[in-house]
Amino acid sequence: MKKKVLILPFVMAFLTLVLSGCQPLMIFDPKGPNARTLSNTIIMSIIVMLVILLVVYVLLINMLSKYRASKQAPDYEPPHEEGSKVLEVVWTVIPILIVTALAIVTVFTTSKVEKKPEGYGNKKPLVIYASSSNWKWHFSYPEQGVETVNYVNIPTDRPIEFRLYSFGPITSFWIPQLAGQKYAMSDMLTKIHLAADQEGSYMGRNSNFSGEGFAQMEFEAQAMSQKDFDEWIKDVKAKEPKLTEKEFDKLLKTSFVGRKSYSSTHLTFRPAPMEHGKHGKHDMENMKDKDMEGMDMSH
């Protein structure tokens, strides 16, 4: 029984590594400042948990060996042991301190990655609207006037601001090597900031179960130089068709599509929702009507 208890954690760790597949854990291979911040926080948390486990198992082995059952006389009566207030305080205070420290680090990290990545303070972010529908991703570049489906290209060494929303159920936008995940919801805009330090192809996906097509809701995020990005934009605008409202409605109804590119965006005829906490068009009209009702029209 003792051997099973001691071996169990190692078996669980081995199964975790095996079941994760041959592909390395991408969160531990960050390619951007915000992803690096999150990765370091996760690694620090794992180290803390391993130290706690080590202490627990050392104490467990000590207890099992020191207080193991032994042959005693039939009339043996074990001595009465009083509780230790010092030990009770210690094993109550230590977990509180650990949880408090992890909470402080987590709050600091979360606040940090919600802002523009460090080192890019003077650079204007590239704004990309990322909207989801069953079961695909639409990427709209309002400044460049192009749109893609199921793939997104970004320049390196430049802050990127993704503005997220959904045309269907709640999804979660996640590029593990560049940033953490954030939910995309209907009728509300959320934002995620990131930057890519290196050129390369990075896997992105929906990390929130949203139906039968969830497993296929992946996309490629291609980081390239600013020069290559500008050339790609010119190529799309010159060669790809414009996105019409009819074509966009067809895209929304089609469950699975491949990669597509368009020389215009759906934002012109299907605007994105307002940011969380701000009023949409309907709310602004209602507020205007209320103001008109409160005005004295006799003058």
Q: Is the Cβ–Cβ distance between 134 and 210 less than 8 Å?
A: yes
For the sheet containing 146-149, what is the strand order? Answer: 190-194, 160-166, 126-133, 136-141, 146-149, 260-262
- Work out the pLDDT band at 288, boundaries 50, 70, 90: very low
Give the burial class of 66: count Cβ atoms within 10 A of its Cβ; 0-12 exposed, 13-18 middle, 19 or more buried.
exposed
pLDDT by residue (tens digit) across 54-69?
999 999 999 898 878 7
pLDDT digits (tens, 9 = 90+) for 146-165: 999 999 999 999 999 999 99
Please state whether the predicted TM-score (pTM) of the whole model is above 0.85.
Answer: no
Poorest-confidence range of 21-25, 48-52, 62-66, 199-203?
21-25
Q: How far apart are CA 279 and CA 285, in angstroms?
A: 10
Spatial separation of the C-alpha atoms in residues 284 and 137, rounded to whole Å? 29
pLDDT, tens digit, 9 for 90 and up, residues 184-233: 999 899 999 999 999 999 999 999 988 888 888 999 999 999 999 999 99
Distances (CA, A) of 260 to 116, 148, 233, 240: 29, 6, 14, 9
pLDDT at residue 299 greater than cutoff 50: no
